[in-house]
């Protein structure tokens, strides 16, 4: 029997949120039907990478992995993002034109700029209206495939495939809707998905727990295919002769550091450092998307000195916000990659199976 979310004394607190969610969906449906909202379907495949919960399931490394695979097949990719906590949330910004030109951190937001610099051949655009961003990517930059960052609850742009990420460490069947829990939507929303990725699976995982995930997914979304992955450190970013360069993880073995980050789930980062044999003298956690001030950097550098640590170490996402700091020569950043368990997600097959006219993708992935 499929395990349902438990009813607790706090459950009534979710009812106003559920009502607002349903009204929001209905309003978009009516507005689309009456042609009151710009939006709809684009002429190129749109693949959404999203989730049911707020924060921290691994959307960014998945988008980087899938984009790299498409670029390796000479497919021009556009990444469409909202650009959380950027200076002007209403502006449409070309974060990367695919030719090595980048917007500033203030214009782009941290995650879009990080993806742009990791994938310099990709076009990255931030805009609240992802439909408009998609049109710009297609008409202005000849993008052949669009990846929609955190798009499962974005109603304006139609998708050809919805990929939903579920966190192994935070099983959704034991969670609740906002504001009590972390769920943006009930589990029944999985019926809109075409593919589910179970992320953050440890090396020694519980097979019964994996079976429960498969049971839940099969109950709500029998049409879904399923992949599994974990995120693992792959290399280290270090400033050498004024340039940020990738170096081997071997550098970290036994290295005394002060670790800091501003991400949704910092414990995973700290655990990785310990597994790599890093000597963490002190660990500082800031809020997600924290924007570092000169005072923050100076305080971290003072802490490094007082703890007799050789380096500060952080995440790639945080590095984007301090890479031009005068003290960045004593900073390292951990690069994370997606490690697939079993069969990796075949993004080309996913595009090919999308319910679109053949003319829009046949030239990309073949007949």
Predicted pLDDT of residue 357: 41
Over residues 43-82, the pLDDT tens digits come to: 999 999 999 998 789 999 999 999 999 999 999 999 999 9
Task: Report, in angstroms and rounded to the nearest whole number, the Rg of the chain calculated over CA atoms.
Answer: 21
Q: Is 247 exposed, middle or buried (0-12, 13-18, 19+ CB in 10 A)?
A: middle
pLDDT along the chain (367 residues), means of 10: 48 73 67 64 95 91 98 97 91 97 96 97 96 97 97 91 96 87 92 96 96 97 96 96 94 98 93 97 95 95 97 97 90 98 94 58 46
Q: Is 92 exposed, middle or buried (0-12, 13-18, 19+ CB in 10 A)?
A: middle
What are φ and ψ of residue 57, in 5° steps? -95, -10
The helix/strand/coil state of 322 is: coil
d(CA 172, CA 190): 11
Supply the pTM of this predicted model.
0.89
The domain locations on the chain are: 30-230+340-365, 233-336
The pLDDT assigned to 32 comes to 62
Give the three-state DSSP class for 294: helix
In Å, how far from its chain's centre is CA 359? 30
pLDDT on residue 361? 42
Which segments of the chain are extended strands (E)? 46-51, 77-81, 93-97, 123-126, 145-149, 161-167, 195-199, 225-240, 243-247, 256-261, 279-285, 311-315, 331-341
H/E segment holding residue 195: strand 195-199
Could you give the 3-state DSSP secondary structure of residue 134? helix
pLDDT at 9 (0 to 100)? 56
The two structure tokens encoding residue 340: 């697939």
The predicted structure's pLDDT at residue 191: 95
The pLDDT value recorded for residue 228 is: 98
Q: How many CA atoms lie within 13 A of 148 on its CB side?
A: 31
> What CATH code would you report for 233-336?
3.40.50
CA distance 197 to 338: 12
Listed residue (50, 57, 61, 114) closest to 233, CA to CA = 61
Distance CA 286, CA 170 (A): 21
- List, in order, residues 6 or more apart from 222 with CB less than 8 Å away: none
| CATH number for region 30-230+340-365 | 3.40.50.300
Contacts of 340 (CB under 8 A, 6+ apart): 227, 228, 229
The token pair that represents 287 in the structure block: 């809020």
pLDDT at residue 26, as a whole number: 63
Which residues, including other chains, have CB under 8 Å from residue 357's CB and lie 6 or more apart? Answer: none
Q: How far apart are CA 197 and CA 217, in angstroms?
A: 10
Handedness of CA 155, 157, 162, 165 (dihedral sign): negative
């Amino acid at each position: 029997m499929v395990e349902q979310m438990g009813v607790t004394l706090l459950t009534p607190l979710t009812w106003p949120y559920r009502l607002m969610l349903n009204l929001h969906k209905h309003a978009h449906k009516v507005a689309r039907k009456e042609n009151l909202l710009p939006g709809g379907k684009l002429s190129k495949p749109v693949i959404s990478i999203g989730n049911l919960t707020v924060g921290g399931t691994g959307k960014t490394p998945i988008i980087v992995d899938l984009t790299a695979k498409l670029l390796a097949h000479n497919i021009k990719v556009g990444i469409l993002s909202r650009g959380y906590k950027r200076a002007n949330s209403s502006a449409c910004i070309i974060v990367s034109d695919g030719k090595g030109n980048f917007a500033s951190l203030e214009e782009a937001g941290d995650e879009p700029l990080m993806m742009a610099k990791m994938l310099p051949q990709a076009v990255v655009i931030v805009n609240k209206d992802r439909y408009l961003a998609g049109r710009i990517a297609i008409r202005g930059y000849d993008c052949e495939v669009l990846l929609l960052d955190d798009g499962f609850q974005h109603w304006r742009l139609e998708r050809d495939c919805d990929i939903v990420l579920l966190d192994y460490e935070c099983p959704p069947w034991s969670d609740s809707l906002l504001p009590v829990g972390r769920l943006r939507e009930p589990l029944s929303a999985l019926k809109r998905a075409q593919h589910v990725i179970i992320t953050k699976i440890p090396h020694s995982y519980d097979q019964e727990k994996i079976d429960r995930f498969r049971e839940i997914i099969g109950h709500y979304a029998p049409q879904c295919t399923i992949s599994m992955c974990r995120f693992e450190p792959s290399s280290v970013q270090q400033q050498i002769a004024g340039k940020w360069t990738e170096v081997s993880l071997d550098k970290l073995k036994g290295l005394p550091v002060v670790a800091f980050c501003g991400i949704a789930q910092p414990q995973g980062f700290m655990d990785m450092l310990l597994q790599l044999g890093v000597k963490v003298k002190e660990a500082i956690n800031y809020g997600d998307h924290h924007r570092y001030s000169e005072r923050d950097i100076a305080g971290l550098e003072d802490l490094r000195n007082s703890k007799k640590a050789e380096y500060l170490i952080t995440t790639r996402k945080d590095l984007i916000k301090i890479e031009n700091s005068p003290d960045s020569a004593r900073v390292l950043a951990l690069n994370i990659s997606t490690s697939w368990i079993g069969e990796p997600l075949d993004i080309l097959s996913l595009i090919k199976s999308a319910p679109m006219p053949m003319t829009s993708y046949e030239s990309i992935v073949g007949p």
